[in-house]
Structure 1
Amino acid sequence: MMPTALTIDPTLTHTSGEHAFGRLETSHGLLPLAALSVAAHVRGLEVATEIHQTFVNHTGAPIEATYIFPLPDRAAVYAFRMQLRDRVVEGVIDERGRARDVYEHAIAVGQRAAIAEEDRPGVFTLRVGNLVPGDHAVLTLRTVGPLPIEDGEVTWAFPLVVAPRYIPGVPLLDEQAGTGTAPDTDRVPDASRISPPVLLPGFASPVRLSIRVTLDGAGLPVTGLRSSLHEVHAVPDRDGWHVELRPGQRLDRDFILRWTLGGAALHSAAVWALDDDGEGATAMITLVPPVGAAAQGRPRDVVLVLDRSGSMGGWKMVAARRAAARIVDTLGERDRFAVLAFDDAVESPPTLGEQLVAGSDRHRFRAVEYLAGVQARGGTELARPLELATRLLAGHDDRDRVLVLVTDGQVGNEDELLRRHGAHLQRVRVFTLGIDQAVNAGFLRRLAAVGGGACELVESEERLDEVMAKIHRRIATPVLVDVSLNGDGLDLATQAPRRLPAVFAGAPLVVHARWRGRPRPGATLELRGRLPAGTEYTQRLHLDSARPGAALAQSWARAHLRDLEDRYAAVTTPGDRAALERSILAVSLRHHVLSRFTAFVAVDRDIVNPGGNPRTLTQPVDSPAGWTDDRFGAAQPAPLGEVPSDLSDCLFSLDTLRGARQSAPVVPSAPMAAGPGAPAPRSGSGQIIPGPRRASAAPPPAAAEGDARSAPRAGGSASSIPATGSASRPVGAPPPSPPRAPAPAPQASAAAKSESRDGAGFDPAPYLARLFTVVDDLERAAGAATPDAAAQLPVARLSELLEDLRTVGLDALAARLAPIVDRLREALIVGRLLPILKEILAALRELAGDGGVAPQPPPRKRKWFWR
């Protein structure tokens, strides 16, 4: 049976092949991911985060939703939870194969279940299955991790989209590992797990985004707070700040906050905490570089490797050229350098060649002249330039050997690159400069750590100007080298990072160390190193107890697992790989921290879909900000899998789609947000990405790590794009005008509009809880110095709540709330909110108190979408 309304919108699915899915629309929408809510608490240089993902089934059949998403690569994922309507199921961490068996068996017998797996540092896959029609589930991940600080400036970056990556190699014809758009290849055997389908530019974002951050300086003043790429609302308090993302923003770039944390008060210190079971302890050591230690350094050999592939088009290419040219300008006559620009091939300035040349004025001019003409093109073949760079930097112990890589890091074969070049990179200092609004930070940090260097991230041309001084210091002589850690009265077990990097001016070194048992009274740690002049440097630190609740063990486990996983990627002998796999499993399971060999799984006890076999929907993601339709990775077809016969007329040629896009009306993006318990899909919009049908109801054998396979991908050509850099926005700026009501989808038919919207099966309690929260916010706004400005955000949240009520069919509650929202909007427009606010608050309290739902007629039976 066909759905009540099936309409086509050619602005949804991103593809470069000959076919694409259009927009499949019923009055209840289709995309499973309704809301993403992030709540972060920062204390000093540690951040604890809760990520809530709300999945809703608006289709007429059971589904399994798959979402490929990013998290900060330094963060330790230590807890997982599935919240259903009437109960909460805590996730259990287990070996990845066993966790998959448990999940697949639960799906096969008809139980609701969810599984979270790590595929790359910072890239995860979450599946939640057997959501029956009308179901909504909230999946929660908890993370903890350190924050970097340089020159007193702290950065918290939360990624929101997995950008397309260049996938080299020959496609594998076996069963694919995931439901992504790139096929698994001999060089990237799990490419289908890191390549989510991409929405076409201009499509209204289907996910409500909410980010809230609490900043506590832990006794140090927090100043200079600013957001780089998003509009935020910030309120100061006694200990720091409360920061909240303004509604209506997309998941197409990283969320980045920066602030200054009492730089003058920072000092070297060591704190420790005992494990929960008392069997071990963890210390966090912060080494602030000695002041005045820098001196005239040794001459340098610097190889500059510049990514000019298609994904670097637009402002990224401009920023990369500027960064490379300014690095060349800092070199002196005693230094030597080489410039390697790469895509599918490697090029150098014609007059200089692929060799080290003296840093003379003439050579530097020729290099800068060449860099000015470099344009984006081709694919990201990084192996060849790394091989050339390490060959040029071989030997020369009397000189500092430095490799600088300028790129967005969007490659899929990270493990292969580390395996092939890790041993050579350990003999040079590697610095990576990541340029993108959705950069592959995990890989760039791994690459820098192998070479004992560091990584800088640049999300705009304005940010490049701010970090250039740091970059110049990084390629100069470090303040301290050959750093080592020793314990007096301690049985040190291990440290993370395993290889301590050189220490540079303005950039404290943070080390996590483990030991067996409790430290003895008076125990100290000793840090040793060598100053530029060659003299020894020693600093002794007394251990102080960490504050209660400090997650030092989880932070150590994440850093140590990263070291072990990088070693695993680099070794080739089966015995060594097996030993490292056992070590990774042991650390991951003991400390409940997710790794590449473990997974979190949660299974509900009830059987809701006897026989299993739900339809797989892969959540599409936004195209990264600043990317165009025709770059190498953003143009990928959705995996077709088994296309139902109902959809046979939904396939269009690319030319037809492009022609239709030019005349298609634009649907304004409605404000996004919502609390973790509130399903909030966009009304009447969605996409289905069918995945492969399950082979059988029996649970499949455990999948071995690295045996993953995937679905087809089409390449695309690369081209430049217009510059889209965005300046940092200081917090506390005047709020924007109140949002307009979202326009209805222009394709909705009369049949769809007349379909029953009674909200059957949806509990109004989570929505009423949100209403109570908004009432509290409005009450606080009434007492503010400027009530109209303070009420902007609560009114925007109330508008989102109204849209959510209409989306899920709670029309009686929506009908009572709508006139209240209209009055608030009108009052904000004319600037006369205060006179009516008391009356409005009374009406909202009454609405929230009685539930707002009048008796409903018996619901009409919904028609099944898939049949």
Structure 2
Amino acid sequence: MAPFFGLIIVCSRQPVPLRGISVEVQVKGFVADVCATLRYKNTEEKPIEAIFVFPLDQDSAVYSFEATVEGKTIVAELQEREQATKTYGEAISKGQQAFLLQEDKSSGDIFSCSVGNLPPGQEAEVKLSFVQELPLEADGAVRFVLPAVLNPRYTPKDHEESITAQVPRVPIGQIPYTLDLTAHFQSAYGISKIQSNCNISPVEYTDSDKTAAKVSLAQGHKFERDVELLAYYMDVNKPSVAVEAGLPDAKADTLMADPAVMLQFYPSFPTTQEQSNSGEFLFLMDRSGSMECGMNSEPNAPQRIESAKETLVLLLKSLPLGCYFNIIGFGSRFEFFFPETIEYTQESMDEAVKKVTQMEANMGGTEILQPLKKIYKTAVRPDHPRQLFVFTDGEVGNTKQVIEEVQRNAHNHRCFAFGIGEGASTSLIKGISRAAGGTCEFITGKERMQPKVLKALKNALQPTVKEISLKWTLPPGMESVLLSKPPSNIFQGHRAIVYAQLKGKVSNTYRRGQRREVSLEYKFKDENFRNSIKFPFKVEKVERPTIHRLGAKALISELENGANSESEEVKKRIVESSTQSGVISSLTAFVAVNKETKAPVQGPPIRRDIPTPGLMFGMPLACQQSMPNARLKMRPMACNMAPGMSLDNRTCKMRSPPKAAEMEKSKKSSHFKKSAAKATPVAAQAMEAPALFRLISLQKADGSWGLSADLASVLGVSLKEMQESNPKQNPDPAVWATLLAVIWLHARCLDQIDEWELLEDKAVSWIKSQAGSSLTDSISAGNVLLKSTVDPAELGL
């Protein structure tokens, strides 16, 4: 066998030309400007073409691409996509070095970087830069994620195979290249702390007032998981405006020549205890084989499907009496729990919970389009607004068709989407939620799904905000042109971002009576509200036109996802907007050619696909299930299979012979599943569920709890103690039981209040409807029994 040089792909024994990645992140407030450098070296005896397919957030605006070879930097040109591909191909055929960066046709969050005709022994650096908005988490953290995991996207029948199917994957821990990352944060409000899911250096403040700080990844970091950085500012919920002057060398009458504006609103309105009991709630649950994977790459991580099931039970318990609901599981096929949406009662809830506990990730590939079409063909119930909740790991190959289907039906529903686990498609999750005026969340690492999902349910139950509009007040001769749509829905505590271009003559001189102001106006429960932001009169010139690039990305996305996106006129606008702003689109690509190559490379080059981390490797039982009817076939990799290894149609997986302890554990797991199948849903869950989940499982649809031994067990007392401690202010023992459950929640689970707040609202409302007198004595007795000190005022009773 011929010797192998340098690093090799573990499974295929192919050399890996990518040696390392360096990333510099500049975060200013809520915007990140990122520069990533990829270092290549050809350790083989023949010229190669290195292909690296990688994920980026859907909202990333890639604005620069360049290559450095033998000390010479070649800046790429942004061309129409077909022309760029042709330029690259012709250069390769002539023996010239060439570099190509393009967005995948099927999904806006997948990119491929091609390094063509790299001669033996030569090194090359490829640098790409992008900007993106940063989301604000529920706890106030500004979240930056550099994605690493690119799971293979399932491709339905009659669709072009996803590019992700060609990417070789290696087990966690065996990625053959490293990541160096340094992040600089700036906030005018001050930075209190920075956290990460990876090992980082201690926070280093670079000024005395703590408005600037930096952190770095630990040396030798393997880029085998998404890198997440959470920055906590002293104050984040303040409206703001950023205005950038136009670029002096930009073409006249274009976005880059005029000032650009980024507006950040924080709409608010009075909190209300009013909870609508109307609504049609549809829970679309991914049950494809990949949902058996862990929530993260760590040993004993919970399976995605198990976390989703627990969340579904919590959602079912939190629904209001009188609404309608249904649950739909999907994979290569789909099935509805009930033939049609059913009224939420104790009986229907019990039946749904029982079916949820029996759900498995056994439905094959991820085909979400057909169940969506079936849902949309069903008429909406009068006076019950449709709310669609989608749970998926996002491994979908026909993302654009799915988004288009949701958009076509956006007039009759709202969509709340949740990306489960690392590698979930930001293009799919953000796309469907935006298309139907909902919200989206991503659950990765050790995050619990429940708080984020319950937050979305609170939004869905919130009274609708109506008549949303933007009102501009500008000096004479100036007008605004929106680059992104104003928000179609407003939710309490959610930020709304709008981009605009200012056209006309802009004067930096203040004149009495002149105003520059924009207001977000809306109506909530027949009351009018107005959030206003004033513009600065002096527009500063900037070195990096970040706002212009984000605005251009917003405009391009609006055009790409619009109703007429396939028309020639819209395609022309996309290409023009992209090339004028320098921001890549689905119809353009960056290409660079080294025309000063000393001698033509003798080809053709050997193709080398750069591997990515495979979360499905080395997970016994978790992700090993093959996918019926799947079309996701991996690129042939000539694996040298050792005894105890097998190859299925999902990826190249190594299965070691099970050890005795693992076999015994498997037997016990199998025994538990059989026992649980015979038990009631509550009893089956209680065998291993935490106390909070056990308590939630016992709550009735009307919000009450019954006085039972199961409840006593959760509360840590005996049934006899519960019965004897009842002050008997109310003859119904359920009032006492429900009061104890609410006291226990406040005393033992206050840190998880986001998960049970809606449940408590139901319980307190039920208690008020049943109890005829003051409950002060009952609350005191409950505190004594549970050894707690909960203040009656906390309970709202």
TM-score, normalised with respect to structure 1? 0.66
Amino acid at match of 2:239: S
CA displacement at 1:309 relative to structure 2: 0.6
Of the candidates 494, 512, 517, which is equivalent to residue 524 of structure 1? 517
Amino acid at match of 1:268: P
CA displacement at 1:478 relative to structure 2: 5.6
Change (3 A) 1:49 1:652: closer
Separation in 2 of the partners of 1:416 and 1:479? Answer: 29
Of the candidates 217, 223, 227, which is equivalent to residue 192 of structure 2? 223
Structure 1 unaligned blocks of 5 or more:
14-20, 25-29, 171-186, 641-649, 665-722, 724-867
Change (3 A) 1:389 1:634: closer
CA displacement at 1:400 relative to structure 2: 3.1
- 1:418 matches 2:387: no
Counterparts of 1:530-541 in structure 2, within 5 Å, are 530-531=523-524, 533-541=525-533
Equivalence for 1:309: 288
CA displacement at 1:272 relative to structure 2: 1.9
Change (3 A) 1:412 1:477: same
Does structure 2 retain, via aligned residues, the 8 Å contact 1:82–1:140?
A: yes
Separation in 2 of the partners of 1:272 and 1:414? Answer: 34
Separation in 1 of the partners of 2:164 and 2:503? Answer: 38
- 1:262 matches 2:241: no
SS at match of 1:379: coil
Amino acid at match of 1:530: K
Separation in 2 of the partners of 1:6 and 1:423? Answer: 53
Moved more, 149-158 or 589-598: 149-158
CA displacement at 1:362 relative to structure 2: 2.7
Separation in 2 of the partners of 1:478 and 1:133? Answer: 65
How many pairs does the alignment contain? 610
1:360-413 C-alpha deviation (Å, 9 max, x unpaired): 2332232222112211121111012212333446363x3332111011111010
Change (3 A) 1:383 1:4: closer
Amino acid at match of 1:121: G
SS at match of 2:535: strand
Q: Percent identity?
A: 22
Does structure 2 retain, via aligned residues, the 8 Å contact 1:301–1:401?
A: yes
Equivalence for 2:21: 36
Structure 2 unaligned blocks of 5 or more:
294-302, 508-513, 648-652, 658-687, 689-797
1:582-621 C-alpha deviation (Å, 9 max, x unpaired): 1111110111000011111111122343454212211122
Does structure 2 retain, via aligned residues, the 8 Å contact 1:200–1:623?
A: yes
- 1:621 matches 2:609: no
SS at match of 2:423: coil
Separation in 2 of the partners of 1:317 and 1:355? Answer: 24
CA displacement at 1:214 relative to structure 2: 1.4
- 1:554 matches 2:546: no
Of the candidates 375, 384, 395, which is equivalent to residue 370 of structure 2? 384
CA displacement at 1:5 relative to structure 2: 5.7
CA displacement at 1:416 relative to structure 2: 1.8
Change (3 A) 1:438 1:571: same
CA displacement at 1:204 relative to structure 2: 2.2
Separation in 1 of the partners of 2:408 and 2:548? Answer: 29
Equivalence for 2:782: none
- 1:582 matches 2:586: no
Does structure 2 retain, via aligned residues, the 8 Å contact 1:196–1:621?
A: no
Equivalence for 2:42: 57
Change (3 A) 1:293 1:493: same
Amino acid at match of 1:210: D
Change (3 A) 1:518 1:412: farther
Separation in 2 of the partners of 1:543 and 1:290? Answer: 21
CA displacement at 1:509 relative to structure 2: 0.9
Of the candidates 287, 292, 298, which is equivalent to residue 265 of structure 2? 287
Counterparts of 1:378-777 in structure 2, within 5 Å, are 378-392=364-378, 394=380, 396=382, 398-460=383-445, 462-477=447-462, 480-489=465-474, 494-498=481-485, 500-519=487-506, 522-531=515-524, 533-544=525-536, 548=542, 549=544, 551-567=546-562, 571=564, 577-607=567-597, 608-624=599-615, 628-632=623-627, 636-639=633-636, 657-658=645-646
Change (3 A) 1:96 1:202: closer
TM-score, normalised with respect to structure 2? 0.71
Equivalence for 1:667: none
Moved more, 401-410 or 98-107: 98-107
Separation in 1 of the partners of 2:355 and 2:113? Answer: 45
Does structure 2 retain, via aligned residues, the 8 Å contact 1:269–1:287?
A: yes
Of the candidates 208, 211, 231, which is equivalent to residue 181 of structure 2? 211
Change (3 A) 1:354 1:499: farther
SS at match of 2:165: coil
Equivalence for 1:374: 359
Separation in 1 of the partners of 2:314 and 2:639? Answer: 49
CA displacement at 1:208 relative to structure 2: 1.2
CA displacement at 1:500 relative to structure 2: 1.9
Does structure 1 retain, via aligned residues, the 8 Å contact 2:646–2:654?
A: yes
1:79-106 C-alpha deviation (Å, 9 max, x unpaired): 1110112211111111111111221122
SS at match of 2:409: helix
Amino acid at match of 1:415: K
Does structure 1 retain, via aligned residues, the 8 Å contact 2:246–2:258?
A: yes
Change (3 A) 1:202 1:221: closer
SS at match of 1:602: strand
Separation in 2 of the partners of 1:401 and 1:634? Answer: 33
Change (3 A) 1:330 1:663: closer
SS at match of 1:412: coil
Amino acid at match of 1:241: A
SS at match of 1:234: coil
CA displacement at 1:662 relative to structure 2: 7.2
Separation in 1 of the partners of 2:7 and 2:25? Answer: 39
Separation in 2 of the partners of 1:427 and 1:518? Answer: 42
Amino acid at match of 1:542: K
Separation in 1 of the partners of 2:336 and 2:271? Answer: 36
Equivalence for 2:10: 12
1:337-356 C-alpha deviation (Å, 9 max, x unpaired): 1111111222233xxx1322
Separation in 2 of the partners of 1:619 and 1:5? Answer: 16
SS at match of 1:416: helix
Separation in 1 of the partners of 2:166 and 2:133? Answer: 28
Separation in 2 of the partners of 1:584 and 1:465? Answer: 39
1:127-182 C-alpha deviation (Å, 9 max, x unpaired): 01111011111111111111111442221121113211111113xxxxxxxxxxxx
Once superposed, what is the RMSD of the aligned Cα atoms? 3.0
Equivalence for 2:323: 335
Equivalence for 2:691: none
Q: Which protein, 1 or 2, shows the higher relative CO under an 8 Å CA cutoff with sep ≥ 6?
A: 1
Separation in 2 of the partners of 1:546 and 1:384? Answer: 50
- 1:194 matches 2:172: no
1:473-501 C-alpha deviation (Å, 9 max, x unpaired): 23221673442223223765643543623
SS at match of 1:149: coil
Equivalence for 1:246: 218
Separation in 1 of the partners of 2:61 and 2:586? Answer: 12
Change (3 A) 1:341 1:541: same
Change (3 A) 1:302 1:651: closer
Equivalence for 2:122: 135
CA displacement at 1:199 relative to structure 2: 2.7
Change (3 A) 1:478 1:93: farther
Does structure 2 retain, via aligned residues, the 8 Å contact 1:197–1:636?
A: no
1:563-589 C-alpha deviation (Å, 9 max, x unpaired): 21122xx558xxx52122111111101
CA displacement at 1:419 relative to structure 2: 3.1
Change (3 A) 1:541 1:484: same
Equivalence for 1:145: 132
Separation in 1 of the partners of 2:79 and 2:428? Answer: 25
